[in-house]
Amino acid sequence: MIDIRRVEKAFGAQRVLQAVDLAIAPARVTAIVGPNGAGKTTLIKMIVGLVRPDAGEIRFDGVPIGDGHAHRARIGYMPQIARFPDNLTGAELLAMLTDLRGAACAARRDETLIGALGIERELSKPLRVLSGGTRQKVNAVIAFLFHPELLILDEPTAGLDPVASSTLKDAILASRGAGRTVLLTSHNMGELEELADDVAFLLDGCVRYHGPVHELKRRTRQSNLERAIAEVMLRGVAA
């Protein structure tokens, strides 16, 4: 679905990504893991088109995304930080994004998460009065709102209570069941164990492992993902 080829990115003198090759398989949940500053968010933002690569290219279903914006109609993006305009209500924010997407999207919004997360009443309040967790729920609703073929979730469950977090994880698994592709990052290995089919391990701007979770466990002879990742981190490249 997503083909990342020889992608490089530097911010000033800091080389964030160094010749990253990565192919994200369709209808699977791929987790990007790695220590802080490994380039996870930069990579995700590149796929969305928020950051441009210095070199290399990214293809969406075989088509280079370049400077275009059409591919974003097929992406649902949940950024790491949920901050919205202070004086708009949640409902207005959703209406705005729907307007921006065009008339075709207005008729078929996926509002199941609004009910599942129980934020119907919060949507009529100004966004500035919402708690961090509630804003994160709004953030999740936005990502799922337009039936995206590709869900890109940057630390989706950060700041959510266990109930909301479980609801969101159910929604992610249901999306995969419906044939959608999911790309996510998280620092919670238990959560990834539950969700991820594939894992891409990023360290110092390079992909050190990419493949199925069970394969990583087999190679490192570990029984859970956290220990398997720790093993890769200690040994560098996975064998």
- Of 131 and 224, the one with the shorter C-beta distance to another protein is 131
Interface pick for another protein out of 38, 75, 130, 207 (rule CB under 8 A): 75
Among 3, 8, 92, 215, binds another protein (CB under 8 A): 92
Torsion of Cα atoms, 31 then 33 then 37 then 42, to 10°: -20
Please state the closest distance from residue 126 (CB atom) to another protein, in A. Answer: 8
Cβ proximity to another protein: between 72 and 208 the closer is 72
Q: Residues 84, 92: contact at Cβ < 8 Å?
A: no
CA pair distance 101, 97, nearest whole angstrom: 6
Nearest-approach distance from CB 64 to another protein, in angstroms: 16
Binding mask 50-69 for another protein (x = CB under 8 A): xxx----------------x
Proportion of the chain in helix, strand, coil states, percent, rounded to 5: 40, 25, 35
Which is nearer to another protein, 84 or 201 (by Cβ)?
Answer: 84
Look at residues 35, 42, 47, 49 and name the one whose alpha carbon lies nearest to residue 17: 42
Q: Report the alpha-carbon distance of residue 136 to residue 86 in Å, rounded.
A: 15
> How is residue 171 written in tokens?
């929604």
Q: Which of residues 110-139 bind another protein (CB under 8 A)?
A: 126
- Report the interface residues with another protein, using CB under 8 A: 11, 45, 48-52, 69-73, 75, 77, 79, 81-88, 92-93, 95-97, 99-101, 126, 142
